[in-house]
Chains A and B, each alone.
Chain A
Amino acid sequence: MLEIVIHIALLILFPPLVLGVINKTKSWFAGRNGPPLLQAYFDIAKLLRKGAVYSRTTSWVFRAGPIVSLGSILCAGLILPLASNVAPLGFTGDVILFAYLLGLSRFFTMAAALDTGSAFEGMGASREAAFAVPAEPALFLSLAIVCIPAKAASFQAAWSALPWALWGGAHPAYLAAAIALFAVMLAENSRIPVDDPNTHLELTMIHEVMVLDHSGPDFAFILYGSAVKLFVIAALLVHVLLPIPEHLGWTGVALLCLGEAALAILIGVVESTVARLRLTRVPQFLIGASVLAGIGLAIALYRGTA
């Protein structure tokens, strides 16, 4: 019971903090003080206190977008183990549902963007779809790598079967999975080098441009949803590198937070040191991730993962 409470508390409270850590890292690189660590919480609270403006063109699909998207991301977070190797809603076969819930969230975000009738938002939806296509096989191949030794398509089995060592990721197959998942994480959460969360020109945006017309609580849901998505995918990556076993209690929570913080700093470093890719290069980057994960899977299958 306590584990479930911890899980839900982590899932609900922590995600915006990850954004804060990323921004602090980027500010440190740029020699600025940067926004406070809790800025994302302030933004969300401010938006929740506002009214809303809806475009006359839109239908209920536009209003459904943010809530379906946030709802499915939260559901995905309830399936994925966080501070231990069990999740409140986990089951055999949950890895597939996890990925498809992220897909459902994307579907409704894109539909809501097209509902505005704006050329910019249509463009954003088109790019989101185009980059999701090469990212999806990379995600599934990485999931297959971690599920092979467990002989079951479930997170709990996978995290129990992965070697519990600080450098569990030292095996080439897991290393490939981790690198591929890192690329997927950057793409799914619109980070550099795929997308730039700080850009101010609509033509160059991907995720941000899809949500141009959302305002007030809707936009708060979207901001919060993208924070949760980042937190959840980062948690997946933390487990690949450092599978947290059952019954660690607060140690598990500490390990997860450390892992999340380390990944957030890594994202901050990447964003500060790497330039954004040209749009036509992004699919190549993600296909590269898929190929890497495919090689990792071949290693896992033919050489074994023990």
Chain B
Amino acid sequence: MLGWIGLSIALLIASALGAAVAFRADRSSLAIGTTGSILACVIGAAASISALVSGLEQSFLAGWPLPIGQIHLGLDSLSAFFLTCIFVISGLVTVYGAGYLQAYIGKRRLAPALTFFNLRVAAMVALVIARDGIFFLVAWEIMSFASFFLVTFENEREDVRRAGMTYLIASQLGVAFLFAMFALLGHNAGSFDFDQFTAGVTPSASLAGICFLLAVVGFGTKAGFWPVHIWLPDAHPAAPSHVSALMSGVMIKMGIYGLLRTLMFLGNPPAWWGTLLVGIGIITGIAGVLHALAQHDLKRLLAYHSVENIGIIALGMGIGLLGQSHRNTTVAFLGYAGALLHVLNHGLFKSLLFEGAGSIVHATGTRDIESLGGLYRRMPITGLTFLVGSVAICGLPPLNGFVSEWLVYVGAFQGGADLPVSWGATAIAAIPALALIGALAAACFVKAFGVVFLGEARTSVVTNAHEAGGTMRWPMIITALLCAAIGIWPTGAVQLVAPAAQLLSRSAPPVEALGSLTAITRVATMLAGLILVLAIVRKVLLRGREVSQAPTWGCGYALPTPRMQYSAASFVEPLLRPFMALIPTRIRRDGPNGFFPFKATYEEHLGDAAGERVLAPASRAFIQALSRVRIIQQGRVQLYLVYIAATLVILLVWQLAGVTGR
């Protein structure tokens, strides 16, 4: 199987180079890049799914050691699961992207978008099968840099360049923590080989704790843990929509993969790791969804929802760790399985939603939901698939989001009942947090779907809107069907994550809890049946009766206009009011002034507390502390010569003392 995956990496790199070589001919580079990526994804998806199903474990060590490390590849159920996510979602997004990029033909060179897209997929595949620290970091950096070039595709826009820089800084700061972590692990094991990490000396408790914290910060920056999530809401709106779909759907999950892989090196986890991740999950989830509510830029809103969903994944991992540390196999399995399945589910519905947002941008030229409305009649397929994605992301049955949240919930209930009280309370804290996140997410997506697709058009941008083309429509339809399939048949979906969850929790799947999954299918079928029956009842009742059309009831007002519809800002105002203390708000108010006021303006901007109240002061303090060290760097060459001489003398003394001492 590794051979096939290697082949798909080779195909991706070859097509990336091909697209780059053909940079003068946009259509051919589009064709080369897309064909290569689709082929690679089909081959890779088939290989990784069959590896997942057969439970195959493989390893490959190249005979030629490179100066930067060795090529050591491996395949286990965790890798196979993440490979499945990468290949399936990337394949669908590639097809969508081929349609999406059509609009740019003749306006700008497409080659960078294609080359770096394929390179990024190749890098993600490589890092998931990497079994060597250095090789892993190289793949990680290629992924990060390729993403930077994708985010800055439309680099003539100032906001895009800013977003690109924010992303680059965040990702390089994050990777610094990973360097430190791998250095510590490598020093402990005497090698950067992952097999040595697991087989060799188990890190001491304090070393494992430090490595865990470094991994949480380093991988958390990529995944989008609060407060280091702030690059996400900038980068996603800046990037082309298929890039955002892949970034949010798959790339940020590489942070989750990295964290899970690291956990496997660190031996038995103490319970505080679980508590920490549950805490991070609660804060990340609630902060993400609250900020999402405040957004009126559709893609920014979706980006904040990625933060929220990463919070849910962190909750699942935290509960898994809590269970594992207390040797409670049921809790551990449920937590990890919920987190992993949510990785796949979020990949599906978030790429679907970003593709929907892309189609809207394509059709109307705006991301501002306040100027949309009534798009449903003009874009029925995008509307329907966006609705499926919205219901799924809110975790509502009978779609896939519910299944993974259900696993986390059941794990939390079980943890609260079974674990010692002080840790059980942590697990239980996840329950009201998930409930709150769910209710806020539902409000946010009713707003997003309702204001964009329902009602009447608010501005004229909507009137010329058209449905997305076939290459953009089909990926959305297929993704929506996958969301429904997982929701209605969770037993099958859990088969995909069970081997990996088993590997992480080191326990067999709990038979009783998973048996309940068939009951979810039963209820979903019952729900579908009831809805069908009610629809038929209504149809029969209305047959032969007068069914007429009329304007919407406006309480007797005869001349309603579309501008009188409820706006997104007014929809969320009562929701956000209790939370306003948490969101930094800038208000600019001008007038009405004087006895005969002519005009008045009011502007309100809701910022991000993590950036403005946590990271900005922290980085200021850090820089201030570093400026104290600046006295040794005066810019005088003579002084530097003194430093060199002093260093030499010290080294000489140290060395001589060492010799004589021996």
Q: Which of B398-456 contact A (CB under 8 A)?
A: 402, 405-406, 409-410, 413-414, 416-418, 421, 424-425, 428, 431-436, 438-440, 442-443, 445-447, 449-451, 453-456
Measured between beta carbons, the chain A residues less than 8 angstroms from B425 are 298, 301
* CB nearest neighbor in A for B396: A104
Of B42-50, B117-125, B209-217, B526-534, the stretch lying at the interface with chain A is: B526-534
Measured between beta carbons, the chain A residues less than 8 angstroms from B394 are 103, 107
Give the Cβ gap from A129 to chain B, nearest Cβ, in Å: 4
Q: Does B550 contact A (CB under 8 A)?
A: yes
- Known A-B contacts A59-B377, A221-B534; A51 and B435 likewise in contact (beta carbons under 8 Å): no
Residue tally, chain A, CB below 8 Å to B? 88
Q: Does B54 contact A (CB under 8 A)?
A: no
Give the Cβ gap from B430 to chain A, nearest Cβ, in Å: 10
What is the interface residue range for chain B against chain A?
35 or more
Measured between beta carbons, the chain B residues less than 8 angstroms from A125 are 446, 450, 566, 571
Q: Does A133 contact B (CB under 8 A)?
A: yes
Contact A97 B397 (CB under 8 A): yes
Give the Cβ gap from B168 to chain A, nearest Cβ, in Å: 36
Measured between beta carbons, the chain A residues less than 8 angstroms from B588 are none
- Known A-B contacts A96-B406, A117-B552, A136-B435; A59 and B547 likewise in contact (beta carbons under 8 Å): no
Q: Does A120 contact B (CB under 8 A)?
A: yes
Of A17-25, A63-71, A266-274, the stretch lying at the interface with chain B is: A63-71
Measured between beta carbons, the chain B residues less than 8 angstroms from A151 are 414, 417-418
* CB nearest neighbor in B for A94: B519
Contact A126 B520 (CB under 8 A): no
Q: Does A189 contact B (CB under 8 A)?
A: no
Q: Within the assembled complex, what's the spacing in Å between the Cα atoms of A74 and B387? A: 22
* CB nearest neighbor in A for B518: A91
Measured between beta carbons, the chain B residues less than 8 angstroms from A93 are 406, 409-410, 413, 513, 516, 519
Contact B455 A57 (CB under 8 A): yes
* CB nearest neighbor in B for A124: B566
Select which of A56, A139, A279, A287 is within 8 A of B551 by beta carbon.
A56
Measured between beta carbons, the chain A residues less than 8 angstroms from B416 are 144, 148, 301
Contact B531 A71 (CB under 8 A): yes
Q: Does B641 contact A (CB under 8 A)?
A: no
Q: Does A89 contact B (CB under 8 A)?
A: yes
Measured between beta carbons, the chain B residues less than 8 angstroms from A129 are 439, 442-443, 446-447, 571, 575
Q: What is the 8 Å Cβ interface bit string for chain A, positions 149-165, against chain B (1 contact, 0 not)?
A: 01111000000000000
Q: Does B391 contact A (CB under 8 A)?
A: yes
Contact A114 B446 (CB under 8 A): yes
Q: What is the 8 Å Cβ interface bit string for chain A, positions 79-117, against chain B (1 contact, 0 not)?
A: 100000000011111111101110110110011001111
* CB nearest neighbor in B for A114: B450
Q: Within the assembled complex, what's the spacing in Å between the Cα atoms of A281 and B522? A: 40
Q: Does A130 contact B (CB under 8 A)?
A: yes
Contact A133 B451 (CB under 8 A): no
Select which of A61, A78, A123 is within 8 A of B526 by beta carbon.
A78
Q: Does A46 contact B (CB under 8 A)?
A: no
Q: Does B546 contact A (CB under 8 A)?
A: yes
Q: Within the assembled complex, what's the spacing in Å between the Cα atoms of A249 and B83? A: 54
Measured between beta carbons, the chain B residues less than 8 angstroms from A202 are 555
Measured between beta carbons, the chain B residues less than 8 angstroms from A59 are 376-377, 383, 454
- Known A-B contacts A115-B454, A125-B446, A153-B414; A141 and B432 likewise in contact (beta carbons under 8 Å): yes
Contact A130 B436 (CB under 8 A): no
Q: Does A52 contact B (CB under 8 A)?
A: yes
Measured between beta carbons, the chain B residues less than 8 angstroms from A294 are 432
Select which of A58, A89, A101, A280 is within 8 A of B577 by beta carbon.
A280
Measured between beta carbons, the chain A residues less than 8 angstroms from B406 are 93, 96-97
Contact A119 B566 (CB under 8 A): yes
Contact A61 B387 (CB under 8 A): yes
Q: Within the assembled complex, what's the spacing in Å between the Cα atoms of A150 and B410? A: 13
Contact A119 B522 (CB under 8 A): no
Contact A114 B513 (CB under 8 A): no
Q: Which of B546-596 contact A (CB under 8 A)?
A: 546-555, 560, 562, 564-566, 570-575, 577-578
Contact A115 B534 (CB under 8 A): no
Q: Does A3 contact B (CB under 8 A)?
A: no
Contact A53 B548 (CB under 8 A): yes
Q: Does B227 contact A (CB under 8 A)?
A: no
Q: Does B21 contact A (CB under 8 A)?
A: no
Contact B570 A287 (CB under 8 A): no
* CB nearest neighbor in B for A91: B519
- Known A-B contacts A51-B546, A126-B572, A144-B416; A111 and B396 likewise in contact (beta carbons under 8 Å): no
Q: Within the assembled complex, what's the spacing in Å between the Cα atoms of A101 and B406? A: 12
Contact B550 A91 (CB under 8 A): no
Q: Within the assembled complex, what's the spacing in Å between the Cα atoms of A57 and B565? A: 12
Q: Does A278 contact B (CB under 8 A)?
A: no
Q: Within the assembled complex, what's the spacing in Å between the Cα atoms of A57 and B373? A: 11
Give the Cβ gap from A153 to chain B, nearest Cβ, in Å: 4
Contact A54 B572 (CB under 8 A): no
Measured between beta carbons, the chain A residues less than 8 angstroms from B662 are none
Of B28-36, B317-325, B537-545, the stretch lying at the interface with chain A is: B537-545
Give the Cβ gap from B301 to chain A, nearest Cβ, in Å: 15
Q: Within the assembled complex, what's the spacing in Å between the Cα atoms of A90 and B435? A: 21
Contact A91 B530 (CB under 8 A): no
- Known A-B contacts A114-B454, A122-B571, A130-B574; A99 and B414 likewise in contact (beta carbons under 8 Å): no
Q: Within the assembled complex, what's the spacing in Å between the Cα atoms of A100 and B401? A: 11
Q: Within the assembled complex, what's the spacing in Å between the Cα atoms of A212 and B555? A: 10
Contact B565 A122 (CB under 8 A): yes
Q: Within the assembled complex, what's the spacing in Å between the Cα atoms of A56 and B548? A: 9
Q: Does A259 contact B (CB under 8 A)?
A: no
Q: Does B274 contact A (CB under 8 A)?
A: no
Contact B413 A71 (CB under 8 A): no
Measured between beta carbons, the chain A residues less than 8 angstroms from B376 are 59, 61
Contact A144 B431 (CB under 8 A): yes
Contact B391 A107 (CB under 8 A): yes
Q: Within the assembled complex, what's the spacing in Å between the Cα atoms of A56 and B552? A: 7
Q: Does A147 contact B (CB under 8 A)?
A: yes
Select which of B373, B531, B565 is within 8 A of A67 by beta carbon.
B531
Q: Which of B308-324 contact A (CB under 8 A)?
A: none
Measured between beta carbons, the chain A residues less than 8 angstroms from B545 are 50-52, 216
Q: Within the assembled complex, what's the spacing in Å between the Cα atoms of A51 and B522? A: 34
Q: Within the assembled complex, what's the spacing in Å between the Cα atoms of A125 and B573? A: 12
Q: Does A226 contact B (CB under 8 A)?
A: no
Select which of A90, A97, A110, A216 is within 8 A of B450 by beta carbon.
A110
Contact A126 B570 (CB under 8 A): yes
Give the Cβ gap from A280 to chain B, nearest Cβ, in Å: 7
Q: Does B169 contact A (CB under 8 A)?
A: no
Q: Does B523 contact A (CB under 8 A)?
A: yes
Q: Within the assembled complex, what's the spacing in Å between the Cα atoms of A132 and B438? A: 10
- Known A-B contacts A136-B436, A144-B416; A126 and B428 likewise in contact (beta carbons under 8 Å): no
Q: Within the assembled complex, what's the spacing in Å between the Cα atoms of A288 and B515? A: 37
Contact B417 A152 (CB under 8 A): yes
Contact B455 A117 (CB under 8 A): yes
Q: Within the assembled complex, what's the spacing in Å between the Cα atoms of A72 and B524? A: 10
Contact A55 B549 (CB under 8 A): yes
Q: Within the assembled complex, what's the spacing in Å between the Cα atoms of A148 and B383? A: 42
A-B contact pairs, 27 of them (CB 8 A): A52-B545, A53-B550, A56-B549, A57-B551, A58-B552, A59-B383, A61-B387, A61-B453, A61-B454, A68-B531, A75-B526, A92-B516, A103-B394, A103-B439, A106-B442, A114-B451, A117-B565, A118-B565, A118-B566, A120-B554, A130-B575, A130-B577, A132-B443, A137-B433, A147-B413, A153-B410, A301-B421
Which A positions have Cβ atoms within 8 angstroms of B? Answer: 48, 50-59, 61, 66-68, 70-72, 74-75, 78-79, 89-97, 99-101, 103-104, 106-107, 110-111, 114-123, 125-127, 129-130, 132-137, 139-141, 144, 147-148, 150-153, 202, 212-213, 216-218, 221, 279-280, 283, 287, 290, 294, 297-298, 301-302
Which B positions have Cβ atoms within 8 angstroms of A? Answer: 373-374, 376-377, 383, 387, 391, 394-397, 402, 405-406, 409-410, 413-414, 416-418, 421, 424-425, 428, 431-436, 438-440, 442-443, 445-447, 449-451, 453-456, 512-513, 515-516, 519-520, 522-523, 526-527, 530-531, 534-535, 537-538, 541-542, 545-555, 560, 562, 564-566, 570-575, 577-578
